[in-house]
Amino acid sequence: MSTTELDGKTAVVTGAGGQIGGGIARELARAGSDVVLADVDVLDTAYNQQGSEDVHGAETAHALADEIETMGRRSMVVECDVTKADQVESMVDRTVEEFGALDVMVNNAGIITLSPVEELDEAEWDSVMDVNVKGVYLCAKASIPELRKSTGTMINTASIAGEIGAAGLGHYVASKHAVMGLTKCLALELAPDDVTVNAICPGIVNTPMWEKVLTPAMEGSYDEIIGDVIPLGRDQTPEDMGRLAVYFATNRNVTGEAVKVDGGITQNVI
């Protein structure tokens, strides 16, 4: 694969301070894109996999920006809570002011908590849905005018949870099903403008989601879970997700798709 497929392009990645967001940003940079890294240090709720309002996302993104610039690409960090329309609009405006265009919009920010529906707090439901669904909607809405100008691409991070159910994750599963549906609708709405819209569906990636929420709730260690549920016998990586993002950003005839990067998990559920 050429390392300059996206030369002259500008990408925005939300949730860039996380492992998956970071992997996507790195691979887009390796493919030639300048990258705007959007994240937030403090949330207005502790309902997320960190269990705290302090998530240090923008702080981590600054270190990633330095790394991207060593690749010879430009990078900028924007503190942005994707649930706040004014912050999202400012993120897009600052991107265009600094880089001249927006070509690749990656709606990656997401959170998870674990609770059966009967015990699920309304505020917990709202928090997960706000970040995972409303955040994609707000970022899509704000970026569409610029993507039309650049005939660009939108990439949404969904999940294998967008296709299957999981006890204790009703709110998260519902949010990812929503992202999958929104992706398909956006693909149809933007096809006349030659803008593609697709979704990445990660399987098991060694992130705080698995470290802090899912592994403690399951029997066995992380490595045992990998061996039990993934046919290929290994977990997935942030770079896997980034390479798929590059594919979506460079293939002009793929739209409305949700591609699983899960080592075969969803073929092994029955």
- Radius of gyration for the chain, computed over Cα atoms and rounded to the nearest angstrom: 17
152-182 as b/e: b if 16+ CB within 10 A: bbbbbbbbbbbbeeeebbbbbbbbbbbbbeb
Query: Annotated active-site positions, please?
Result: 172
Do β-strands 153-157 and 258-261 pair in parallel, antiparallel, or remain unpaired?
A: unpaired
Report DSSP letters for 193-245, one per residue. GT-EEEEEEE--B-SHIIIIIIHHHSSS-HHHHHHHH-TTSS-B-HHHHHHHH
> Within 10 A of 42 (CB to CB), how many other CB atoms are there?
13
Nearest to 205 by CA among 68, 118, 110: 110
> Within 10 A of 31 (CB to CB), how many other CB atoms are there?
25
247: its two tokens: 């594919």
